[in-house]
Structure 1
Amino acid sequence: MKTFRSHIRTATLALAAAGIPTSQAIAMPVVEPSVDQPVVLAASDCYAIGQQVAQQNGGTLAKASQSTRGGQPVCVIVVLVPGKEGQRPRRSEIVVPLN
């Protein structure tokens, strides 16, 4: 004989299993990329650029994101540079053109 708790658990699992195909269908892109609209993988490019900038400044990459400034795509890089004599790290924001 099943208890009320096991009935709830079974119902929850059934609802979760039924919701998986629905959530995947919603997450799929509506428009497929074509030759007219090239796909740009800027997030990974900005991350790679951010790693290089952090290394050049002797810091740690905190954030790398794409943005548009003046109509041009840029990477906004945030680097944490260690402070001197045990002080807090300094936050440095660097904007690099995305080429």
Structure 2
Amino acid sequence: MMIFRALSRFAALGLFSAGLLGPQAGPGAAADCASMGRQIAAENGGKLIQAAESNQGGRPVCVVMILLPAKDGQPPRRDRQVIPLD
């Protein structure tokens, strides 16, 4: 039983490193996500807080968090947007 566990962990590690198991996004997707986030923040007059690539429903998306300036005496607010990457 111990040998099977060790072999299955080794196989899973190999699949992850080969990109066959888990997210398919590479370093370029994170850079694209950040640039998309900066563009959206600039269009809305806000500041990019966070941009991260994720999967939702099996599809790659970019999740962007923007800090929008205060209006009418209200505090600044956060805006979360999900943008499809395909």
Superposition TM-score tier, normalisation by shorter sequence: 0.5 to 0.7
Q: Whose strand proportion is higher, 1 or 2?
A: 2
Alpha-carbon distance, 1:71 to partner: 0.6
Q: In the alignment, which of 42, 48, 51 is matched to residue 38 of structure 2? A: 51
TM-score, normalised by the number of residues in structure 2:
0.66
- Could you say which structure has the greater relative contact order, defined with CA pairs below 8 angstroms and 6 or more residues apart? 2
For structure 2, list consecutive stretches of 5 or more residues without a partner in the other structure: 1-16
Identical positions, percent:
46
For structure 1, list consecutive stretches of 5 or more residues without a partner in the other structure: 1-30
Count of residue pairs brought into register by the alignment: 65
TM-score, normalised by the number of residues in structure 1:
0.58
Match of 1:74 in 2: 61
Largest Rg, 1 or 2? 1
Match of 1:93 in 2: 80
Match of 1:62 in 2: 49
RMSD: 2.1
Question: Which structure 1 residue ranges, 4+ long, deviate > 6 Å from structure 2?
Answer: none
